[in-house]
Amino acid sequence: MYVYLLLEFQASVDPFMALRILVYVGLLYQDLVREKKLTPDGRLPPVLPLVLYSGEDGWTAAPEISELIESVPGGLERYRPHMRYLLVEERGFSEAELAPMQNLVAALFRLENSRGPEDIVQVLELLIEWLQVPEQAELARALGVWLRRSLLASRMPDIDFPEIENLQEARTMLAERVKDWKKQWQEEGRKEGESTMLTKQLTRKFGPIAPDTRRRIADASSKQLLKWAERILTADRIEDVFD
């Protein structure tokens, strides 16, 4: 006997998802009757409706169709349809729960829930190990395409990633970019600290700073910020610092 899995992928909450699932299952059953794909006893096979939700906010839609139908007295409620779907929220699983699971679904959830490139590289190393056998080559290529066109494109829209032929290329590329990003973050963090310190020194000596001056400080290089900071020691006016 077959058990059918009806998969519905959602990135946002649909309040009437239970109604959609009811329609989908009904259409599936009609098709099975038409194709004479019934059980040996002539019955309809069981169907598991599964909603896979990847949105940021929690799922709030009713999981049962009967909850969407108004209840009236007089016995009519017994004729309300009943159908429930199984909800799987990707963000409902923590990294501690997913990491020990040695399967592809858990790896995909970890990629979807990843916080940065280092997390993605860690999962990619596992996928490369799992999918290195020749019979999994097509799946590995498909994951590489999805990684570039979907996951990385949504996380880093300003970066033009090259075509990825396999997961190994993806891991190598991201590992190199992690080094560049760390260096960039360190430089930006140092510059931000220098800008903050200069602003505090100017405010303490000359009083409130004009918005134009604040923008000039924010756009300055680290070398220029250091030069201005040295001038504060001898400047009598704020203009002497910048001119």
Highest mean pLDDT: which range of 22-26, 142-146, 168-172, 182-186? 22-26
Determine the pLDDT at residue 187. 63
pTM for this structure? 0.60
Average pLDDT of the residues of the chain: 84
Determine the residue type at 2: Y
Rounded-to-integer distance, Cα 64 and Cα 54, Å: 20
Cβ atoms of 1 and 39 within 8 Å: the answer is yes
Q: Averaged over 152-162, what is the pLDDT? A: 71
Of residues 81 and 120, more confidently modeled:
81
Cβ atoms of 241 and 210 within 8 Å: the answer is no
DSSP three-state, residue 139:
helix
- Give pairs for 77-86: CB < 8 Å, separation 24+: 81/22, 83/18, 83/21, 83/22, 83/25, 83/49, 84/18, 84/49, 85/8, 85/17, 85/18, 85/21, 85/49, 85/50, 85/51, 86/48, 86/49, 86/50, 86/51
Helix (H) or strand (E) holding 169: helix 167-206
pLDDT digits (tens, 9 = 90+) for 178-226: 665 556 555 656 777 778 888 888 888 888 888 888 888 888 887 788 8
Which residues on adjacent β-strands are paired with residue 87? 51
| pLDDT exceeds cutoff 70 at 131 | yes
- Percent of the chain scoring above 70 in pLDDT: 89
200-225: b or e for each residue (b if 16 or more CB lie within 10 Å)? eebeeebeebeeebeeebeebeeeeb
**Ranges 47-61, 75-89, 98-112, 138-152: which has the least confidence:** 138-152
Place 82 in a pLDDT band, splitting at 50, 70 and 90. very high
Determine the pLDDT at residue 13. 95
Q: Averaged over 9-19, what is the pLDDT? A: 95
